[in-house]
Structure 1
Amino acid sequence: MRILHTSDWHIGRTFHGTSTIEPLRSVLTALVAEVIAREVDVVVVAGDIFDSATPAAEYYSVLTDTLRALHAAGAVVVMTSGNHDSATRLGFQAEFAGLAGIHICTRPENAATPITVTDEHGPVHFYGIPYLEPSLVRHLYPGTTLRTHEQVLANAMTDIRADLAERGGRSVVVSHCFAVGVPASDVERDITSGGIDLVPAEVFDGPDYVALGHIHSRNTISDRVRYSGAPLHYSFSEAGKPRGGWLFEVDATGLVPGRTEWVSLPIPRDLVVLTGELDDLLGDAQYARAESSWVSVVLTDRVRPMDGMRRLQERFPWCVRLDHRPVGADAASTETYTERLRGKDDQQIVADFLGYVRGGVGPTNFERRAIADAVADQTAAEALA
């Protein structure tokens, strides 16, 4: 049996204010083409199908079109809800979808009841664990301590192993969580605070393969425990990282060693981070490759250029982020804020502030006059109050 592991579609997410719906449509269309070309039997989606608990009607059409195409390709689909999804909305009419081989796992109490797909070697049991919020599921298990994600997933896996011991056969677990030791990008929102969302990989001992979601970059925890990542880049912290999914096989004895491979999906628009002074970025031919990419710029000019974003977008139309980090601006000071202000008048305080944010470059003569005029106006207004 050939199984494709994907996750974190995040239908409806925007990228710096720009809709990602059409790029995502094109990538999911490419995913369906890979399913057909590679004769995939089962497609797994490990949570965060939507980016919001209240997706717009347009976003449902993206999901419906993709599921229809996967069904037409002959693939069974097993998907779970993630922390971004509304389990109720995603699971609406899941029972009827299951009749068509589209299995949507959103009910915590059903985590140990598998979707069973049979091949020439017998059954393969897919256990879909929806995102488990401890405070929302502990009432299902009175007398069991369920305060952390590790505890709720360990509890679910105990039930799954018990069920599998009775059924026999091969198995795949699908879960949406933050496994210990995996670095997150800046788009994976913390499921909880204080680190209690971390789940040791040992919790998932037992199944032939564990398909994880929540981390947006591909990661291999072990040969049998992996993250596939998201199909699109949703943050500049993901620049340069591949997009796609894991294709693995199970035979009569379980996961086939050495047969798990990465299936790349197209990247509609690359992400590029450029660092330098404005004039260099605008004039240097080496940056031509970035003219058709999403661009994040870190300007190192000592003085923040006027109209920096507008000028950058003249060359880089898809520039969406600008940070100003002048050379020397990070120099540490041992003085407290109060100590730096002591004995200085208002004009000196403003001038020092400009120097601080510019890495030591103080106000120009024009700016000094403007500061003096502003301080004088304020002093006069206070005197008349």
Structure 2
Amino acid sequence: MRILHTSDWHVGKVLKGRSRHDEHIKVLAQVVEIARAERPDLVIVAGDLYDSAAPAADSTRVVTRALSALRQTGAQVVAIGGNHDNGPALDALRPWAEAAGIVLRGAVRDNPDELLIAGETAGGERWRLVTLPFLSQRYAIRATEMYELTAAEATQTYADHIARLIGRLSESFAEPGAVNLLTAHLTIVGAASGGGEREAHTVMGYAVPATVFPPNAHYVALGHLHRAQQVLSPCPARYSGSPLAVDFGEEENVCSVAIVDVSTDKAARVRDVPIGSALALRTVRGTLEQLATVNLPDAWLRVFVRETPRVGLREDVQDLLPNALEVRIDPDMMPSRAGERMAQRAGRSPRELFGDYLDNRGIAEDGVRELFDELYDEVSSHS
């Protein structure tokens, strides 16, 4: 059977105040075109469909239309909730999804059997898929308790909880005759983060070893880390990565979806198909004169400007580079902290403290001190 594995769409993402709505439409349209060309039997979306737990109506429309379009290619479609998604809200869409022939699993609920999906390809090949939406540490204990674990087991670590859940859900993998699949939204120990993930959910407390996966799984479709990569595991396991770079920390990522060919008697073979519909994210550095030579009209820019800090510098950079979403002073241009004379508050007037502030940062704009004096006098006279 053939699988199209994608994840971490983050629809609704706003980058430094700039909406990426149109980019998401183009990116997901390209994913649908790949599905039409590759003709997968199954599409797996491994979490973080949205960037926010409270997506706007436009974002919901983009996601539901993309899922419907993927289903219309003839593939069976399964999507799970990620840490950015509102799991119960996704589950509330299940009546719509079921009517459209789409499987949504937003959160771990009371019935563990609903997290095991079974299907059959048009060619008669049977498959079963364990779906594990993102579980916070807070709810992992409750989830394990629901599955009749002992009190001692329920006090183990987050990784142990995940291992027990997967073990319980994948018990049917011992039965022959079907392709065993698993999808989860997790951080795996040793995997490389993409740069834009929510840090609180990628720290070691949330990282689990790949040994949580059963050796008799034929393929594990992972979401959460935005960089496409293979994971060292007892079974074939992979992050598809995000189909677009969601933050400047991801500008070196190669955005793609994974095409997986797998059967009960052949190891999974994976191909990454690049996605190039979104604008690139690029970081540039230089003086204003050097930045004037930059020619990247089809990219969002983060700029480190090598100039002395001054009023209006950001505006000058953005006049040169209208696509500059973030403008910072290059750290090398900031005064050395070792040479700074820190202003002492005790016994110093506000005028003296402000003067030290300007001196320590090399700001010598005409009229700034005089303006401060006027404002300070005005405020003082009304206090």
Corresponding residue to 1:129 among 111, 132, 141: 132
Give the unaligned 5+ runs of structure 1: none
Corresponding residue to 1:117 among 116, 119, 122: 119
Give the unaligned 5+ runs of structure 2: 146-150
Aligned counterparts, 1:281-360, within 5 A? 281-282=291-292, 284=293, 287-288=294-295, 290-301=296-307, 303-325=308-330, 327-329=332-334, 331-333=336-338, 337=342, 349-357=353-361
Q: When the two structures are superposed, what TM-score results if normalisation uses the length of structure 2?
A: 0.85
Change (3 A) 1:276 1:68: same
Aligned counterparts, 1:1-385, within 5 A? 1-94=1-94, 97-98=97-98, 100-108=100-108, 109-110=110-111, 113-119=115-121, 120=123, 122-142=125-145, 143=151, 144-145=153-154, 148-166=157-175, 169-192=178-201, 195-206=204-215, 207-222=217-232, 224-256=236-268, 259-282=269-292, 284=293, 287-288=294-295, 290-301=296-307, 303-325=308-330, 327-329=332-334, 331-333=336-338, 337=342, 349-357=353-361, 361=362, 363=364, 366=366, 370-371=368-369, 374-375=372-373, 378=376
SS of equivalent to 1:34: helix
SS of equivalent to 2:297: helix
Whether the 8 Å CA contact 1:278–1:305 is kept in 2: the answer is no
Whether the 8 Å CA contact 1:242–1:264 is kept in 2: the answer is yes
Alpha-carbon distance between aligned partners in 2 of 1:308 and 1:195, rounded to the nearest angstrom: 40
Offset at 1:273? Answer: 0.9
Whether the 8 Å CA contact 1:134–1:146 is kept in 2: the answer is no
Alpha-carbon distance between aligned partners in 2 of 1:185 and 1:122, rounded to the nearest angstrom: 34
Letter in 1 for 2:174: A
What's the CA shift string for 1:236-259, capped at 9, x where partnerless? Answer: 111132111111111231433xx3
Q: When the two structures are superposed, what TM-score results if normalisation uses the length of structure 1?
A: 0.84
Change (3 A) 1:111 1:173: farther
Alpha-carbon distance between aligned partners in 1 of 2:261 and 2:290, rounded to the nearest angstrom: 50
Letter in 1 for 2:281: L
Whether the 8 Å CA contact 1:295–1:319 is kept in 2: the answer is yes
Offset at 1:330? Answer: 6.1
* Residue correspondences, number: 371
Change (3 A) 1:332 1:107: closer
SS of equivalent to 2:199: coil
Alpha-carbon distance between aligned partners in 2 of 1:305 and 1:336, rounded to the nearest angstrom: 20
Letter in 2 for 1:371: R
Alpha-carbon distance between aligned partners in 2 of 1:96 and 1:324, rounded to the nearest angstrom: 49
